[in-house]
Amino acid sequence: MSKFEYLRLADAIAAEIAGGALKPGDRLPPQRSFAYERKIAVSTASRVYTELLRRGLVVGEVGRGTFISGDVRRGIAPSPEAHGARIDMEFNYPLLPQQAAMIAKSLQGLERTEALEAALRPSTSTGTQAVRQVSAAFLARKTWSPGAEQIVFTANGRQCIAAALAALVPPGGRCGVEALTYPFIKGIAVRLGVTLVPLAMDEHGVRPDAVQKAHREAHLTALYLQPTIQNPLGITMPAARRADLLRVVEKLDLTIIEDTVYGFLDDEPPLAALSPDRCIVLDSLSKKVAPGLALGFIVSPLRLREIIMASVRSGGWTASGYAFAAGQRLMGDGTVSELTRLKRIDAARRQQMAAKLLAGFEIQANAKAYHLWLTLPPHWRSQTFVAAAARRDIALTPSTTFAVAPGHAPNAVRLALGAPTLEQLETGLRALSGILIAKEEDFDATE
């Protein structure tokens, strides 16, 4: 067998995984059996399995078998599609039973000919004066009131990140990010040619001294942070840390790209309230309303507004006229505010359920958040645990998905609590608790 044929075999297995013939948690045959079935040498089978392991498509331990990974997506960013698992604790889009009726009521009349004609016209990155004013009023909280002239729109939150990063950081530049961060920024950075620099964190969020250290080693252009209900750890940065961080940012002449997508679950104002000229605030309607009614907001210092607008235009990230029309109605009539109120109650209830059913395990949670961080017992590894959960029709996200530096992921998983029904969530949490307490001698059966 030529040295390239083992790669073709690995590609064939990868194709079966991508096509769904092999699913997360499925066990591959022992290497000797695989070699016999494929009429290849055992050493070649070993090379095939090693290649699959290198690609992150399988997990396994000696004597315990090889399983299709719970995170079978190739590349560094998660798929935007759920895997179709019965209990989805992977994708964090909270949907309330009553929200479709609330949205439908708000959008009544938008199907009329004259309203639809206006909504289907070409749009720009700045929308209309009316939608800017409604958005500015809606986004304001406590000590922060953005001006309507500061707002630039995109079609969703991920496009906000891409537009801001493209505007601030040139190809080959460096952007500091939390060591565990929102996964999609990794793929965005690769496409833009931007290097992400992981910044050490503690219980209060990013450490200011880590920013200084990273900047000394090689110049940073910007920071991408989630100061409120951080994903995946749920940390909300306290006032003292915010002040210390902004002092460092000012000293180093940096700009913060501040992602506030989970900020609707808390009353904490953004960092921009303390340093409006140093912060670009990002937000969207995807979590507050629904992913199918997304509209992204970039609140920029006026000095950066033109370059942000140019970035949105060149990236093709302008929102549709229908998204503007729907968003203006939903924000203007109070529907989004009421959904926010109800989702805060819902998130708190789900966190209480998780705290009760996972009592005794090491979890890091924010009582206001729709997700939590579960540190695994020593006999479980992140990928293996995700694969075991997948075989019970529960989708989770391993820590490797969030880690910026390869090989530096803690032994943990993130649980997204928003998508399942309450009944599904209870069932899933009870099942996970059972997997966690599996004894070593039960490991093979649980695996």
CB 353 within 8 A of CB 415: no
What is the pLDDT confidence band of residue 44, given thresholds at 50, 70 and 90?
confident
Which two structure tokens, joined as six digits, stand for 151?
């707002």
Query: Residues with Cβ < 8 Å from 157, sequence gap 6 or more?
Result: 259, 261, 282, 283, 284, 286, 294, 296
pLDDT at 358: 97
Spatial separation of the C-alpha atoms in residues 41 and 8, rounded to whole Å:
15
H/E run at residue 372: strand 371-375
What is the pLDDT confidence band of residue 78, given thresholds at 50, 70 and 90?
very low
CB 125 within 8 A of CB 153: yes
Global pTM value: 0.82
Beta strands 255-259; 222-225: pairing state = parallel
1 has pLDDT over 90? no
| H-type alpha helices, 81-206 | 99-106, 113-119, 129-139, 157-168, 184-192
* Count of Cβ atoms closer than 10 Å to residue 190 Cβ: 14
In this predicted structure, which of 71-80, 331-340, 385-394 has the lowest mean pLDDT?
Answer: 71-80
Mean pLDDT of the chain: 90
What is the pLDDT confidence band of residue 442, given thresholds at 50, 70 and 90?
low
Mean pLDDT computed over 259-287: 97
pLDDT at 180: 97
254 has pLDDT over 60? yes
pLDDT at 6: 81
Q: What is the pLDDT of residues 207-222, one digit of tens each?
A: 999 999 999 999 999 9
CB 65 within 8 A of CB 27: yes
Spatial separation of the C-alpha atoms in residues 396 and 415, rounded to whole Å:
6
pLDDT at 82: 42
Mean pLDDT computed over 37-42: 87
Q: What is the pLDDT of residues 101-158, one digit of tens each?
A: 999 999 999 989 999 998 998 899 999 999 999 999 999 998 999 999 999 999 999 9
Q: Which residue has the higher pLDDT, 137 or 79?
A: 137
Q: What is the pLDDT of residues 381-434, one digit of tens each?
A: 888 888 888 878 899 999 989 999 877 889 999 999 999 999 999 999 999 999
Instruction: Name which of 307, 148, 144, 283 is nearest 222 in CA terms.
Output: 307
For residue 37, report the phi and psi dihedrals to the nearest 5 degrees: -65, -40
Q: Which residue has the higher pLDDT, 308 or 66?
A: 308
75 has pLDDT over 50? no
Q: Cα torsion at 78, 80, 83, 89 (round to 10°)?
A: 80
Mean pLDDT computed over 163-168: 98
Q: What is the pLDDT of residues 149-162, one digit of tens each?
A: 999 999 999 999 99
Which two structure tokens, joined as six digits, stand for 274?
């303390």
CB 228 within 8 A of CB 359: no
Instruction: Name which of 378, 363, 385 is nearest 434 in CA terms.
Output: 385
In this predicted structure, which of 46-60, 64-78, 234-248, 321-335 has the lowest mean pLDDT?
Answer: 64-78
302 has pLDDT over 70? yes
58 has pLDDT over 90? no
pLDDT at 4: 64
Output the CA–CA distances (angstroms, integers) from residue 315 to 122, 163, 192, 387, in the order listed: 16, 7, 11, 37
What is the pLDDT confidence band of residue 280, given thresholds at 50, 70 and 90?
very high
Coil, helix or strand at residue 260: coil
pLDDT at 61: 52
What is the pLDDT confidence band of residue 60, given thresholds at 50, 70 and 90?
low
33 has pLDDT over 50? yes
